[in-house]
A and B are shown apart, each in its own frame.
Chain A
């Protein structure tokens, strides 16, 4: 089975405080460490496990610039056979639909049985996979948390639905699936693994190679535009406890006893 996994390079923000730039239209990115969007590792791992069972190769692809090569290499160090960078000045400023259109053009150039994405990226939209599938007229499922390859170019999949229940379906190939985190345990990648694939060439494709009309992607075609960032309204906000740890611990213990009772 030939599997394409779409990945994205994102700033690591879960452990860091985010600051805005002076213009307020972006976050300060200089201090942030970039890496692959964590959910994408689950998609790559799943692809590798499928090809280990039934044969075939895994290709990872991203839309971006030179800096994005590092995430392709990381996923190649996991075991992906090929990495491909879709890059062109005409692509910059694309909205999500534009990104899906670029990926669609690349999928059409190849012969992939299965296209995977992570469940969502830093923008939290969970959008690209479903758009890509519709553009290709492939079946689609999101929040996929198990995949079994059946005979007759079909998969048996489950989706994670409310309360952690699993919605089980059959889906025809080729299809696009967005993979829920937790479906597997992505393998560890060390520096040595990344160095080992450091010199593998990564082909690039631009608008011309993808036969994409530059006016259909990029900033000019974008109909969804972020205007600014701001801090969420604080709601009622928490009462922040200050003081020594000893004082804080005493206060918290009293609050638990008062509000919940100690049995």
Chain B
């Protein structure tokens, strides 16, 4: 069996949560072969990252270079191609960096590529059987990959639970000298931090959240009426922002805001994993969707198959009624 590597991202000297999840994934490919962590960066930050990784990984390869201070996928791909042995299996998290790096890396390594894996079922010889999702998470698929010339696999964040492992007392191996001068056609300039909008959805106990099912701009008012009645805020999923019906600052998800309400009303939201990644603190989720197979029903506490455009106004009236009775 080929050697397994986990590419670990980090920020300000802190390793990403995916480090533990990649360890679990590697273990499912081959429990007998402890994976090697690979990290890139420079300076004291990188050293502290290596030190933390030694607690869970038996071996940590570090590639230190000033050009790698900011994670540029093209530079890192070139560095990895120089140090990885032929036939390696490389794991990375399926997020904005991983999807920038992994497809091109698979080509340069001559390795097979499978992305956004939810499960690794078994390895038989050079055949790896994995689970992916298609059609916005509505269906799962078993996919077979021939990993005889290596593999690059991206792992869905949160899909592989971190295992409690015994301390690894790992060794750091400095691979920096094996990497020559790195150049890329893409040069990082700056990061522009997202604006906070008029309403801060991260500070609300109840969110009335709308998705594609709201259908048109004018219908946003239906959700706002309910939110007003509840003393809640209106948040949304990606398609609503793409259509410019609400500001980006209202978007819940991995590329939007992370929220931690007590109650989350998911109205016409299918439940893509990028959206669910923004829901923290285990809120009580009430999902309303016309499609009984919408993935949101897998994670919701309570589900209703109905037309939200008809249901929400009635719910708004009901809330007003309850308030009158209470007063």
Interface residues of A (CB under 8 A from B): 11, 13-18, 20, 27, 42, 96-97, 100, 122-131, 133-135, 138-143, 156, 158-172, 175, 181-182, 185, 223-235, 237-241, 245-246, 248-250, 252-253, 255-257, 259-263
For residue A230, which residues in chain B have a CB less than 8 angstroms away from its CB?
139-142
A229 and B184 within 8 A (CB): no
Q: Which of A162, A168, A232, A237 contacts B96 (CB 8 A)?
A: A162
The reply to whether the CB of B260 lies closer than 8 angstroms to some CB of chain A is no
Within 8 A of A (CB), among B98-151: 99-108, 112-116, 129, 132-146
The reply to whether the CB of B292 lies closer than 8 angstroms to some CB of chain A is yes
A232 and B102 within 8 A (CB): no
Q: A122-B134, A130-B103, A223-B146 given as contacts; is B301 within 8 A of A169 (CB)? A: no
Q: How far apart are the CA atoms of A66 and B12 in the complex, in Å?
A: 52
The reply to whether the CB of B42 lies closer than 8 angstroms to some CB of chain A is no
A245 and B311 within 8 A (CB): yes
A199 to chain B, nearest CB (A): 33
For residue A250, which residues in chain B have a CB less than 8 angstroms away from its CB?
318
A123 and B134 within 8 A (CB): yes
Q: Which of A17, A135, A229 contacts B141 (CB 8 A)?
A: A229
Report 8 cross-chain contacts, Cβ distance below 8 Å, ordered by A residue. A123-B132, A126-B103, A131-B113, A160-B255, A164-B256, A230-B142, A231-B293, A233-B298
Among residues of A, the one whose C-beta sits closest to the C-beta of B326 is: A262
B256 and A163 within 8 A (CB): yes
Q: A227-B129, A262-B322 given as contacts; is B74 within 8 A of A245 (CB)? A: no
The reply to whether the CB of B235 lies closer than 8 angstroms to some CB of chain A is no
B186 and A165 within 8 A (CB): no
A18 and B135 within 8 A (CB): yes
Q: Which of A129, A164, A172 has the most CB atoms of chain B within a 10 A radius of its CB?
A: A164
A139 and B186 within 8 A (CB): yes
For residue A227, which residues in chain B have a CB less than 8 angstroms away from its CB?
129, 141-144
Interface hit among B19-27, B33-41, B238-246: B238-246
Q: How far apart are the CA atoms of A53 and B310 in the complex, in Å?
A: 44
Q: How far apart are the CA atoms of A160 and B318 in the complex, in Å?
A: 40
Q: How far apart are the CA atoms of A90 and B165 in the complex, in Å?
A: 48
Q: How far apart are the CA atoms of A240 and B261 in the complex, in Å?
A: 21
A162 and B95 within 8 A (CB): yes
The reply to whether the CB of B206 lies closer than 8 angstroms to some CB of chain A is yes
Q: How far apart are the CA atoms of A170 and B77 in the complex, in Å?
A: 18
For residue A100, which residues in chain B have a CB less than 8 angstroms away from its CB?
107
Among residues of B, the one whose C-beta sits closest to the C-beta of A185 is: B244
Q: How far apart are the CA atoms of A256 and B264 in the complex, in Å?
A: 9
A135 and B107 within 8 A (CB): yes
Q: A163-B255, A227-B142, A256-B263 given as contacts; is B303 within 8 A of A122 (CB)? A: no
Q: A17-B293, A248-B311, A262-B323 given as contacts; is B186 within 8 A of A170 (CB)? A: yes
